[in-house]
Chains A and B, each alone.
Chain A
C-alpha cells in the first residue's frame, strides 16, 4: 500500500471545499511566509474557477485567513475579515487571467511596509494540496510538502556552495535544489527542500552568507 489511511479519513479542515477553501488558505499561508510578515495591504487576483465561485466557497475568507497565518482547520478562518482589521491589514480582490495556469489559481500581491511589494502566484491543485508557481520574477514549483528554504541572492560565484556548506555543517540534507536568475550576475532565487526541520539559527547563519539578500523557511506543520 502506498496510500495512508489518513488520506482516506482526513484532513481535518474548514469546509466546504478542500481545493477552494482549505487549499486556498494553505496557499496564502505559505505565500505570507515567502513574502515576509511586514505588509499592510494584500491584493488577490483571482483566476479561473477561483474568480467564478470564490464567494460561494469562502475562498475570499480562506485567502485572507492564510495571509494572517490562520491554519486550514482553525475555525477562526471564517472570521478572517474581522481579524485582519485588528491587525490593521487591508485587502482587495479582483479578477484576472493567468495564462496557462490551473483553474484554481491566485496572484497574491503583498504591499510591504517599506514601500516594496512581493508578487506570489500559486494554485490549489486538489485535496488541499498547493503549488507556488512564481515568486516575483522567479518560476518555482514549491509544494510545501517538505521543509523548504526560499533564498534570494546575487548571482555570484560561490554563493550556492556557501549555502550548501551552512546546511551540511548543520547536518541538514538537501532533497531538491533549484536555482533561477533574472540575468547573469543579477538577482537569483534558490529553492531548497530539505529532509529535516530548519531551525531559526540555521536561517540566521544563511542570512550571513555573502551575497545572500533574504532567507525564508517554510516549516511544514502536520496538516
Chain B
C-alpha cells in the first residue's frame, strides 16, 4: 500500500507494472469493490465526461449572464480551419475542455475531476489522446484510473478545494491528473508520468481563484482549456526524458503551502484577482442587481 507518490512509484517500479495497476489494487482494498465493479464505475463516469466534451460543440448552451455562452462552438469551428496557430489538434482539445465548462455552467451533467469547476481537463485530454492513439476501452479506463489515483493522493496529502488552495488546487490538480493519464496513453513509463505531474505543478503554483461574479464561468472555462494543453505539454517534456529536480510529493506540499499562504480574497470569495476589477463588478451588478 502507498500513501504518497514516492511509495506509489516504487511499487510500480519494483513490480514493473503501470501506476493504474497499483492504484486499482489499492482501490479494491479501500472500497471493497471488485475489479469489474471498479471498471464499471469508471466507465459510467467516463461516459458522462465524454458527453460533456461534446455537448456544447454544436449548440451554445444558456449560462447565467451569458459569460461563456457559445465559446465552445466557436473554438470547435475554428479548430477545423487551416489557419490556427497551434493546429487543429490543440484547438480541438481546448474546444472539448470548454464544452465541459459550458455544460457545467448551464446546469448540465458533468463528472467532477477533481471538482466541477475543473471538470473539463481530464475529459478533454483523455478523450483527445485516446482518439489520437486509437486506444482500447481498457487502456482508456486504465488511464482514467491513473488520473484519479493521482488526484486521490493529492486529496489525501493536500487539498483540491478552491476555498482552501485556490485555482492551483482545482484546475492545477485537474491538469496534474490529466498529464499522468496522457503519459500512460502515449506509452510512457510510471516514472515519466510522475515527472510530468511535477512540471504541471511548477506551472500552476500561485494560480488564484477569482471567478467573475462568483460564477463558475470566467476564468474557469478558459483555465480548463489552457490547463488541458499544459497537461499535454508537460507530458511531452517528461516523455523527452526531462527529470524534475524536486520530487512530486514535495511539489504537492509546496502547492498546499502556497494555497494556505494566499489571502482569502484570492480563494473563491470573488473579492480579489480579476473578480475585483471594475468590469467584473459591473457584470456582477448586472446579474445579481
Residues of A whose CB lies within 8 Å of any CB of B are 1-18, 21-22, 52-53, 55-58, 61, 73, 75, 77-78, 126-127
Contact = CB atoms under 8 A, between A and B. Distances in A.
A1 to B, nearest CB: 5
The contact size tier of chain B is: 35 or more
B73 to A, nearest CB: 18
Contacts of B251: none
B239 interface: no
B48 interface: yes
Contacts of B114: 7-9
B111 A9 contact: yes
Given A10-B112, A15-B119, A16-B215, A1 B107 contact: no
Contact of B48 (A12, A16, A21): A12
A55 B116 CA distance: 18
B108 to A, nearest CB: 6
Interface in B1-50: 1-3, 23, 26-27, 30-31, 38, 41-42, 44-45, 48
Contacts of B154: 8
Contacts of A17: 116-117, 216
B233 interface: no
A126 B116 CA distance: 11
Interface stretch (B141-149, B256-264, B273-281): B141-149
Contacts of A57: 214-216
A73 to B, nearest CB: 6
Contact of B31 (A4, A9, A58, A126): A4
Interface in B91-115: 103-115
Contact of A3 (B65, B112, B155): B155
B83 interface: no
Given A2-B30, A8-B113, A56-B287, A16 B107 contact: yes
B151 interface: yes
Given A17-B116, A75-B109, A2 B64 contact: no
Contacts of A11: 111-112
B2 A9 contact: no
A3 B156 contact: yes
B27 A15 contact: no
B152 interface: yes
Question: Shortest 5 CB-CB distances between A and B: which pairs?
Answer: A8-B151, A15-B104, A5-B148, A9-B148, A16-B216
